[in-house]
């Protein structure tokens, strides 16, 4: 499957409010980000962001170096249209994360539900390699993926599920574990999806 083609089709045929990952306020991520005490000048990247509202709220919190990465040009355009003139305060990156070449080092890598779409070992290895190369020593990585109790598919695609211990094992060579937990996300139509989440710090 061509992932870019698939996601362009999803974003061209569905309203954001109709997607399972819709959140008008991503409170869980915001709670953790606020707890990190990052400088307003910190380089933050939201990976696989789609048209998430997280960048809107990060701007409200005063962060000045926000990067939004997604494989879908349509998703990025929708976010820019929503933000209007504020979109000029964000760096927009259209890329497959597994081949992303960062031009800056980041203080925070945020990925809510992108990693689990990478189902081959090669894709996952490339992801971890990009993640490792993207973060400063002491920088944070916040990951959320479908848990072993979560759905088998999302948006018509088979996904790769992770227990929290799997996330820890995946990153242990280069990251210290700060926080691991499971949480439920409620879709706009009331279904529960269980996620494994982890906060990690670059060694």
Q: Residue 192's pLDDT is what?
A: 92
Comparing CA positions, the residue from 155, 35, 8, 174 lying closest to residue 96 is 8
| Mean pLDDT (the chain, rounded) | 94
> What Cα–Cα distance (Å) separates residue 31 from each residue in 6, 18, 65, 157?
32, 25, 19, 29
Residue 176's domain is classified under what CATH number?
A: 3.40.50.150
Is residue 99 within 8 Å of residue 162, measured between CB atoms? Answer: no
Is residue 31 predicted with pLDDT exceeding 90?
yes
pTM (2 decimals)? 0.94
Residue 144 lies in a domain: yes
Number of domains in the chain: 1
pLDDT confidence tier of residue 1, bands split at 50, 70 and 90: low
What value does the mean pLDDT take over residues 111-134? Answer: 97
Contacts of residue 172, defined as CB under 8 A and 6 or more positions apart, other chains included, come to none
Residue 74 lies in a domain: no
What value does the mean pLDDT take over residues 167-192? Answer: 95
Residue 159 lies in a domain: yes
Look at 159 and 18; give whichever has higher pLDDT. Answer: 159
> What Cα–Cα distance (Å) separates residue 18 from each residue in 13, 26, 122, 147?
10, 16, 31, 22
The whole-angstrom separation of Cα 183 and Cα 193 is 8
Residue 127 lies in a domain: yes
Domain that holds residue 121: 96-202
Q: Hey, which residues does 197 pair with through a beta bridge?
A: 144, 181
pLDDT tens, position by position, 71-101: 999 999 999 999 999 999 999 999 999 999 9
């Amino acid at each position: 499957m061509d992932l870019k083609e698939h996601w362009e089709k999803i974003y061209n045929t569905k309203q954001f409010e109709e997607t399972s990952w819709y959140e008008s306020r991503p409170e869980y991520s915001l709670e953790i980000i606020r707890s990190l005490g990052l400088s307003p000048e910190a380089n933050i990247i939201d990976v696989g962001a789609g048209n998430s509202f997280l960048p809107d709220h990060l701007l409200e919190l005063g962060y000045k170096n926000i990067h939004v990465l997604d494989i879908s040009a349509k998703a990025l355009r929708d976010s820019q249209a929503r933000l209007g003139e504020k979109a000029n305060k964000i760096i927009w990156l259209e890329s497959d994360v597994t081949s992303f070449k960062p031009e800056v080092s980041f203080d925070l890598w945020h990925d809510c539900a992108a990693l689990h779409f990478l189902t081959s070992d090669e894709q996952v290895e490339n992801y971890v390699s990009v993640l490792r190369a993207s973060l400063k020593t002491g920088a944070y990585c916040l990951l959320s993926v479908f848990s072993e109790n979560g759905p088998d598919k999302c948006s018509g695609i088979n996904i790769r599920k992770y227990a929290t211990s799997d996330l820890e094992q995946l990153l242990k060579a280069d990251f210290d574990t700060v926080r691991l937990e499971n949480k439920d996300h409620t879709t706009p139509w009331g279904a529960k999806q269980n996620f494994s989440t982890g906060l990690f710090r670059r060694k």
